[in-house]
Structure 1
């Protein structure tokens, strides 16, 4: 991988280039960078890696990265990365790895869906929270994860066939699937995701159908935000509406999908978006805009409205996932989904992708420099 290069867009720096399709990125409180590579169109040799001095090192070790599609009957899916979608470092010095265990976004591998905590002091897995079919049924694709400030709760999106949110109590490992198939977590039928000026479709005519994907939690942990990629609307829910079910002998009526749906608020329209993050430093929401090769920002203190372009560059093909470094630098991956074999049958199985960074303040809206192509 090349050394970091300055881009044409103000404040935009290419941090790394990869030979494979990246999605997730995170930065630990001491500045370590981790990335992940899902098994979508290739049986990638590395699923989770630490990026240091331009080199990828399998994490936590080669054994955890040893699962292969061709060896799925010989390798235990419970303690190997099957198809990792997200990596997130928490404030306590742990790395969490979300594995939906659905290679090619197809069948879920038995015993594979899990959320794994790795202690970054020892670089060893500390615990695994396994998800059964009530949480990760066939057709699911657990996508993104955020953690409450007190470290007791995890919130997940499912971008699969039936969009949903998942709430996990980290002390007990219990999880519950919520808003399953709700209009706020499902693809918006009125939206067609386009690229290069035309609808993005697979060879069989299907378009982009990803459900609830992008996820963000307010710094105080009180508000959860999410959006479908095939969608335009950003939704939110007070997190206190999601509590109370663990201590009840029966599921409280407040946690029925019908009751929760009535508490969901419409924040505004982003247009089709993938990754979301709320900065700990400035409180703004950063929004990826795959159709526009752009990253936008939304002022959450203003009701409604639309996000504003922060940086736009034709090399930023499908901005995917955000991370925030301790100094406030925003990192994001570009996963080139529109260039993948899902949409271009002649595309290489191994798809080159990138990691970028933005210094907030260096590229203030509007930061467009090169027109999308």
Structure 2
């Protein structure tokens, strides 16, 4: 009996060693997959990377303590962009409640201001999209929206730019809807009000064992590499949809007829932001499991990374060196349990090596 117990003890010890070794190996593998770029004690959501590898972030106005709305990450430090005055609350020209930032292929940075601080309702003047010239860091133009395009409880969330047709596509995660803005004329149209594709499917998510109760409508948005399709999903959902951009850009298109053109693409893990790479792979988060996932050009879901550091992958951006950047906003966690908010990057090449 003593011999059996000794053998059993040795076997258990061996299994523990193997398990620890395996976990350590997985940790080392993940360390190689994602690289820390910057961290902050303030919560960020959006991220943008320019053609010259300049990195920009934004901090949403979800509390009374938001010292900076838009910043550039320089040597790991947060530097107010385009100036401190723009980030000073109540200034003549200043940001109010920024939710996302994005760079286009013509060295322009777009800043989407919800004008809805702390989800208290859209303030007078409505949401604003700012366009900056990154060669001069000067404002090119600001786009406002008529009251027919937004609701009192709208929350303009994410934006994608079609530089060929000079159009901006925006999601409204407060009410649910898609806004198409003409960057030449400044005219905008709203689509899909009330459509199920832009509405939340669930009233909660279980993220890493934590119940997060919230119903968030259309949020993540992405343009296919050829700009022919607009992909989108509600945050509190597991369905990916798409629609031809040509449908939304027809001069005489009416919102009511657009719903018939919507295509259901796939059932996906709940995600916040989304981003296509040049090959047509759609990168997204995995809010419920601390994951980075990819819906491939072959219509397959690849669970690329599962890592405890990926605490709510929020927004995605890419650079010319085939790297994907993402922010972690830890939205699902109580503030008392949050650590530093972080930005990571990873090589797109790990997808082909997976």
Question: TM range, normalised to the smaller chain?
Answer: 0.7 to 0.9
Contact 1:113 1:132 in 2 (8 A): no
TM-superposed CA distance for 1:352, in Å, is 3.1
In structure 2, do the counterparts of structure 1 residues 51 and 284 end up closer, same or farther at CA, with 3 Å as the change threshold?
same
Shift of 1:117: 0.4
Offset at 1:299?
1.4
Which of these residues, 221, 239, 244, is aligned with residue 238 of structure 1?
244
Q: Answer whether contact 1:12 1:363 (CA < 8 A) is retained.
A: no
Which of residues 260, 276, 301 in structure 1 aligns to 2:274?
A: 276
Q: 1:197 to 1:340 in 2, by over 3 A?
A: closer
Aligned mate of 2:264, from 266, 270, 274: 266
Structure 2 equivalent of residue 356 of structure 1: 344
Q: Distance in 2 between matches of 1:184 and 1:132?
A: 24
* Structure 1 unaligned blocks of 5 or more: 1-5, 201-206, 246-251, 367-373
Matched-pair contact (CA < 8 Å) for 1:309–1:365: no
| Counterpart pick for 2:325 among 321, 328, 331 | 331
Q: Residue 115 of structure 1: CA displacement?
A: 0.4
Is 2:194 aligned against 1:170?
A: no
Query: In the alignment, does 2:52 pair up with 1:30?
Result: yes
The answer to whether structure 1 residue 216 and structure 2 residue 230 are counterparts is: no
- Cα separation, 2, equivalents of 1:332 and 1:149: 22
More helix by share: 2
Tell me what 1:203 maps to. none
SS in 1 for 2:139: strand
- Larger relative contact order (Cα-Cα within 8 Å, sequence gap ≥ 6): 1
CA shift digits 1:336-357 (9 cap, x unpaired): 101245xxxx568xx7311000
Confirm whether residue 139 of structure 1 aligns to residue 127 of structure 2.
Answer: no
1:180 aligned to 2:193? yes
1:310-361 Cα shifts (integer Å, max 9, x gaps): 11111111110000011110000000101245xxxx568xx73110001122
- 1:276–1:287: 8 Å Cα contact kept in structure 2? yes
Pairing partner for 1:293 from 290, 294, 300: 290
Asked if structure 2 preserves the Cα contact closer than 8 Å seen for 1:140 and 1:158, the reply is yes
Contact 2:177–2:191 under 8 Å retained in 1: yes
Distance 1:174 1:142 in 2: 16
Q: TM-score, normalised by structure 2?
A: 0.87
- Correspondence list, 1:1-373, <5 A: 8-67=30-89, 75-76=91-92, 79-160=93-174, 162-189=175-202, 192-200=204-212, 207-245=213-251, 252=252, 254-257=253-256, 259-280=257-278, 282-302=279-299, 305=300, 307-341=301-335, 352-362=340-350
Q: How far is the alpha carbon of 1:9 from its aligned partner?
A: 4.1
Match of 1:204 in 2: none
Q: TM-score, normalised by structure 1?
A: 0.83
Rg (Cα) greater in structure: 2
Q: CA 1:217 to 1:272, structure 2 compared with 1: closer, same or farther past 3 Å? A: same
Aligned residues between the structures: 327
8 A Cα contact 1:241 1:255, kept in partner: no
Deviation at 1:131, TM superposition (A): 1.8
Aligned residue number for residue 21 of structure 2: none
What is the root-mean-square deviation of aligned Cα atoms in Å?
1.9
Where do 5+ consecutive residues of structure 2 fail to align? 1-27
Q: Is the 8 A contact 1:308 1:365 kept in 2?
A: no
Structure-2 separation of matches of 1:171 and 1:130? 13
Equivalent position of 1:3 in the other structure: none
